Structure 1
Amino acid sequence: MSALRIAVLDDWQAVASQVVNWAPLQALGELVFVHDYPAATAVLIERLKDFDVICVMRERTVFDKALIDGLPRLKLLATGGMRNAALDLNAARERGVLVCGSDSYKHAAPELTWALLMALQRNLVAEANSLRSGGWQVGLGGDLYGKTLGILGLGSIGQKVAGYAKAFGMRVIAWSENLTEARASEAGVTWVSKQQLFEQADILTVHLVLSPRSQGLVDAQALGWMKPTALLINTSRGPIVDEQALIDALQHQRLAGAALDVFAQEPLPADHPLRSLPNLLATPHIGYVTQNNYRQFFEHMIEDVLAWHAGTPIRLL
């Protein structure tokens, strides 16, 4: 095989070159870190048309059929994570482009979830901003002990968050369409119905995989079941929550507050109403943006490329 041209995309913080040792890929040919992110497909095609291998971060640059078909040299896409909704896997298969993924560091997302929950409950952003601007106390923080945490989706992340909640003395309830009472009990969590989850939760946190079944699951009806004093946390995927319904609930104080790390459109448009709601704490999809997780992603991408180059591809999607 001739020398490869390999591109690393989606390095928004310009940290990829320092996180891991890329020398094994540099030995295969030319390695380029691409730091420009045009939205236009035609510009992306022009920029990427000479690469054989492209490494992408999960759910940033969209590789749809038009882009994949416009890259005649592309043979391999290596992505962070084992799911990437930004990649058209069917189009890749039709073109004969292999797609490989990576494992994830399992603590990044639940730790951010808990950080957002604590910050929202104790009004930390407003208090810190007041102090920075010369002021002092501006509000009254909430408490966790004895409160009820509702978990929508009790997978690996949901179970870790449940463990944090129990350490803080919270009652933990959970529901999803696939969750059974027995599985909830095994995790030390009380199974409830969907409506009971939303009605009883003082804080509700979303931990579902985005799918046609989960999209829009947290809709106006579900938000309407929640207590006006309740808080909503979403570090899973933006489209699981009906954004307009959430905005309406927050604007009219039918919900005390929310913390979001994910959005229907990312990056979030500069004029989006979610940027200006006083009872919303929002972060720019940093749930997986940690040193350990990036190291896992990039090390596995390197392994993916080396295995493919040796004729034995791994972690195929």
Structure 2
Amino acid sequence: FVVASVTSENQGFLGADSFAKMRKGAAFILLSRAGVVDFQALMQAVKSGHIVAASDVFPEEPLSAGHPVRALPGFLRSAHRAGALDIAFKRMGDMVLEDMDLVDRGLPPLRSKRAERETVSRMRSKPVDRN
């Protein structure tokens, strides 16, 4: 499985070559940001039957009603909800406070990193149409 934030160095770094090297029938689980994979190549690897996949993130969110991944056998879709659990909110707050304590003591943070302008603009939430 893959858990990675998108940077200028790793955008689309998993593509057709990577999926072809996976053992036939392997499961690929994407849990972070869709930008780290070539999503079309991932869908093609699943469509060919080479691998199965699961993801809770997609190149465009919300996922359109007609997006081909919705009807792709072997591709499990899930809501990206882990961060909305009470325990996750508490742990995220604890991690921020731990990093703030380190910074206050003149030490580098363990988890925080400087945001890259191109990543921030690419990951900006898109407005959701209301019906």
User: Amino acid of the residue matched to residue 282 of structure 1?
Assistant: R
Q: In the alignment, which of 57, 69, 85 is matched to residue 290 of structure 1?
A: 85
**Matched length:** 99
Whether contact under 8 Å (2:3, 2:31) holds in the other structure is yes
| Cross-structure match for 2:33 | 237
Q: 1:235 to 1:271 in 2, by over 3 A?
A: same
TM-score, normalised via structure 1 length: 0.29
Please state if 1:220 is matched with 2:16: yes
Q: 1:299 to 1:269 in 2, by over 3 A?
A: farther
Please state if 1:273 is matched with 2:85: no
* CA distances 1:99-132 after superposition (whole Å, capped 9, x unpaired): xxxxxxxxxxxxxxxxxxxxxxxxxxxxxxxxxx
User: Amino acid of the residue matched to residue 230 of structure 1?
Assistant: A
| Cross-structure match for 1:259 | 54
| Cross-structure match for 2:105 | none
User: Amino acid of the residue matched to residue 73 of structure 2?
Assistant: P
Counterpart Cα distance in 1 of 2:25 and 2:31: 20
Q: In the alignment, which of 231, 236, 249 is matched to residue 45 of structure 2?
A: 249
* CA distances 1:182-212 after superposition (whole Å, capped 9, x unpaired): xxxxxxxxxxxxxxxxxxxxxxx10222111
Which residues of structure 2 form unaligned runs of 5+? 96-111, 116-131
Residue aligned with 2:72, SS: coil
Give 4+ residue runs of structure 1 displaced > 6 Å after superposition: none
> How big is the shift at 1:289?
2.2
Whether contact under 8 Å (2:33, 2:58) holds in the other structure is yes
Residue aligned with 2:76, SS: strand
Q: 1:299 to 1:213 in 2, by over 3 A?
A: closer
User: Where in structure 2 are the equivalents of 1:60-139 lying within 5 Å?
Assistant: none
* CA distances 1:123-150 after superposition (whole Å, capped 9, x unpaired): xxxxxxxxxxxxxxxxxxxxxxxxxxxx
> How big is the shift at 1:236?
1.2
Which residues of structure 1 form unaligned runs of 5+? 1-204, 301-314
Per residue, is there more strand in 1 or in 2? 1
Counterpart Cα distance in 2 of 1:277 and 1:219: 18
> How big is the shift at 1:261?
1.1
Whether contact under 8 Å (1:267, 1:284) holds in the other structure is no
The alignment-based identity, stated in percent, is: 32
Counterpart Cα distance in 1 of 2:37 and 2:94: 33
* CA distances 1:233-280 after superposition (whole Å, capped 9, x unpaired): 01011111111001111111121x111011111111111111111211
Q: 1:245 to 1:299 in 2, by over 3 A?
A: same
Counterpart Cα distance in 2 of 1:296 and 1:221: 37
Counterpart Cα distance in 2 of 1:287 and 1:265: 19
Counterpart Cα distance in 1 of 2:78 and 2:93: 23
Residue aligned with 1:206, SS: coil
Residue aligned with 2:54, SS: strand
> How big is the shift at 1:299?
9.5
> How big is the shift at 1:226?
0.9
Q: 1:287 to 1:214 in 2, by over 3 A?
A: farther
Whether contact under 8 Å (2:19, 2:42) holds in the other structure is yes
Counterpart Cα distance in 2 of 1:262 and 1:288: 13
